[in-house]
Amino acid sequence: MDNIVVIGVIVGIALVIFAVVKFIEHQDSKKQQKLNIHNAILKGLNEKYEQEKSRIENKKERIFQSLQKIQNDIIALENKQNTYNDSYDPIRAISKLQNILKVKTLSLNEIWDLFYDQGEFKVINLNQRFEEKIRLVDEINKPEYFELKQNTENKDKLSTEIEQKKKELNQSLKSIYTSNLNSTKNKIHELKERYKQKGKLWTLELEKFKEKQKQKNDKVDLLKAKYNENNESSIAEFHLQILEKIIYDPNFHKSITTDYNEENKILIIEYLLPTVEQFPETKEFRYIKTRNEYKEIKFSDRELDKLYNDIIYRLVLDLISISFENDLINVIKTIVFNGWTNAINKATGLNNKACVLSVVCDKSEFSKINLSEVDPKECFKSLKGISANKISNHTPIKPIITIANDDRRFVSSQEIGIDSSTNLASMHWEDFEHLIREIFEKEFSINGGEVKVTQSSRDGGVDAIAFDPDPIRGGKIVIQAKRYTNIVGVSAVRDLYGTVMNEGATKGILVTTSDYGSDSFKFAKDKPITLINGGNLLYLLEKHGYNARINIKEAKDELK
């Protein structure tokens, strides 16, 4: 019996122990389960935090990429705007030249429309384009913050830890969001300010364009009024501007002078004809099947020579026809056309300006000609025109009538007195131009040359023209004077070269009190241009008995 009791007690104790163990295990299991849930929540919080952080940073990168693309697009737009389309089709060009007389060169109902500048301002407003594009860029959205429980009292340690973790992650997200948002805003603000400045410059350029256009059109109004009043010089200017606007080929250098004599109703046209070297040389592009490529076939010298002579006669007759057709107030009875060339003399290697054809046409006689069906050379001969048998030989002929050498731009020269106290860099600009005339007059007078000062305009145009009678190195020489205190840029040298070409001159001389940049010397190299700086000028003055000085700093102070 006692044994049974003992066994019962032992079993009871064992059951109690087993129950206690099971209870402890159950409590540990619940605790572990709660800890696992806690860790899972923390892991979820961290994962969501990383997702939001990544979203914010990725959004910032996408915004920066969008901003870079906007800049690239605008730069491409700007470059495209500044790119000159110089595509030239030689075959189409030669076809156009061969169709002179067959196709009307000018087909305007109102010739004055050719004079007025009705062009639009084609410079793109980059600020406007930027503003249009920047509006499409999204901002960084606010992060999805972790929701915090309002009442955190009487919470266990794990719950409190989770709420604390949420607060920390929210603060970190807010910091990341604010930093990235400010970074994008600052970048956008920087770009807006940059393009706002471009917008201001665009507005200024637009105003300048409109003002320049207005001035140009006001001059046309004045020319039109004087032309309709039968003003002699305006009639000559009217026909000059028409001929200036006719472009047969972009490679043809052009220089035209016109004069009108009211007494005998004669319009004289002096026209610099293109040289054979300026003509398109390509005859065709022939397909070579065996090579699967196109080969350029050029005109032979004989073919090009024949083509040149034919087209020159076409061009002359066309220009005369255009001038007669646009005699709006019926004041031209006769046109004298003198064709000049400025070709290279093979004997000397120098440009040699010579008149190679001359013709006088009466309106009544010319109006009877059906130009679309004529042989240009035979028509020219029937009008008693004078030319060498082959114009391409550039054989000089005596013009039937010429424009007087007293260019209307010339003004009376004046003597300029200077001494050792004279600072050339601060002289009155007009006095400086006349001084240059004096010096070059002495320089050219050795060979019987002549120098004349043109109308002073301060616009960088022709300041003086020298006529050197020397048959080899002589001719017409353009002289420009720049009383500068800063380095003369390459644009001034380019302008001089353009003037030399337009004037049909053999050479250009640019004189300045300062000096030239390297770009200027590079541009002038191998061109008929001489650059004379302040040092060279003082030497030239001393050579001819003048004593002067150049002090740039002093001049800058005086000219302030």
CATH number of the domain bearing residue 543: 3.40.1350.10
Amino acid at 91: I
Burial class (CB in 10 A: 0-12, 13-18, 19+), 269: buried
Residue 306 lies in a domain: yes
The answer to whether residues 329 and 415 belong to one domain is no
The answer to whether residues 100 and 46 belong to one domain is yes
Q: How high is the pLDDT of residue 440?
A: 83
Residue 303 lies in a domain: yes
Residue 220 lies in a domain: no
Give, in degrees to the nearest 5, the angle at Cα 544 between 542 and 548: 40
Give the domain-ending residue among 367, 393, 419.
Answer: 393
The answer to whether residues 422 and 387 belong to one domain is no
Q: What is the pTM of this model?
A: 0.54
Instruction: Show pLDDT as tens, one digit a residue, over the chain (560 residues).
Output: 667 777 777 777 777 776 666 666 656 566 666 666 766 777 777 777 788 778 888 888 888 888 888 888 777 777 766 655 556 788 788 888 888 888 888 766 678 888 888 888 888 888 888 788 888 787 888 888 878 776 656 567 777 777 777 788 778 878 888 888 888 888 888 888 888 888 898 899 889 989 999 999 999 999 999 999 999 999 999 999 999 988 888 888 888 999 998 877 889 999 999 988 888 887 777 767 777 777 778 888 888 889 999 999 999 999 999 999 999 999 999 898 999 988 766 656 666 778 889 898 899 999 999 988 999 999 999 988 888 778 887 778 877 777 654 444 334 344 455 666 778 888 877 777 778 878 888 888 777 777 776 655 454 444 788 888 776 667 888 988 888 888 888 899 999 998 888 888 889 999 988 888 767 777 887 789 988 888 888 888 888 887 888 888 888 877 66
Give the domain-ending residue among 341, 366, 393.
Answer: 393
Residue 498 lies in a domain: yes
Q: How high is the pLDDT of residue 88?
A: 74
Domain housing 263 = 233-393
The answer to whether residues 51 and 100 belong to one domain is yes
Q: How high is the pLDDT of residue 310?
A: 92
User: Whole-angstrom Cα distance, residue 339 to residue 89?
Assistant: 27
Residue 315 lies in a domain: yes
Residue 297 lies in a domain: yes
The CB density around residue 33, as the number of other CB atoms within 10 Å, is 10
The answer to whether residues 204 and 240 belong to one domain is no
Q: Maximum Cα–Cα distance for the chain, whole Å?
A: 167
Q: Express each pLDDT in 152-207 by its tens digit.
A: 565 677 777 777 777 887 788 788 888 888 888 888 888 888 888 888 988 998 89
User: Whole-angstrom Cα distance, residue 82 to residue 398?
Assistant: 46
The answer to whether residues 23 and 109 belong to one domain is yes
Quote the DSSP letter at residue 86.
-
The answer to whether residues 546 and 494 belong to one domain is yes
The answer to whether residues 282 and 367 belong to one domain is yes
The answer to whether residues 382 and 415 belong to one domain is no
Q: Distance between alpha carbon 166 and the CA centroid of its chain, in Å?
A: 61
Look at the chain and report how many structural domains it folds into. 3
The answer to whether residues 387 and 425 belong to one domain is no
Residue 340 lies in a domain: yes
User: Whole-angstrom Cα distance, residue 311 to residue 299?
Assistant: 15
Q: How high is the pLDDT of residue 318?
A: 94
The answer to whether residues 190 and 261 belong to one domain is no
How is 241-304 classified by DSSP, letter by letter?
A: HHHHH--S-TT----EEEEEETTTTEEEEEEEPPPGGGS--EEEEEEETTTTEEEEEEPPHHHH
> What is the three-class DSSP state of 488?
strand
Burial class (CB in 10 A: 0-12, 13-18, 19+), 114: middle
Instruction: Tokens for 55, please give them.
Output: 């979203």
Give the domain-ending residue among 336, 362, 393.
Answer: 393
Residue 382 lies in a domain: yes
The answer to whether residues 250 and 276 belong to one domain is yes
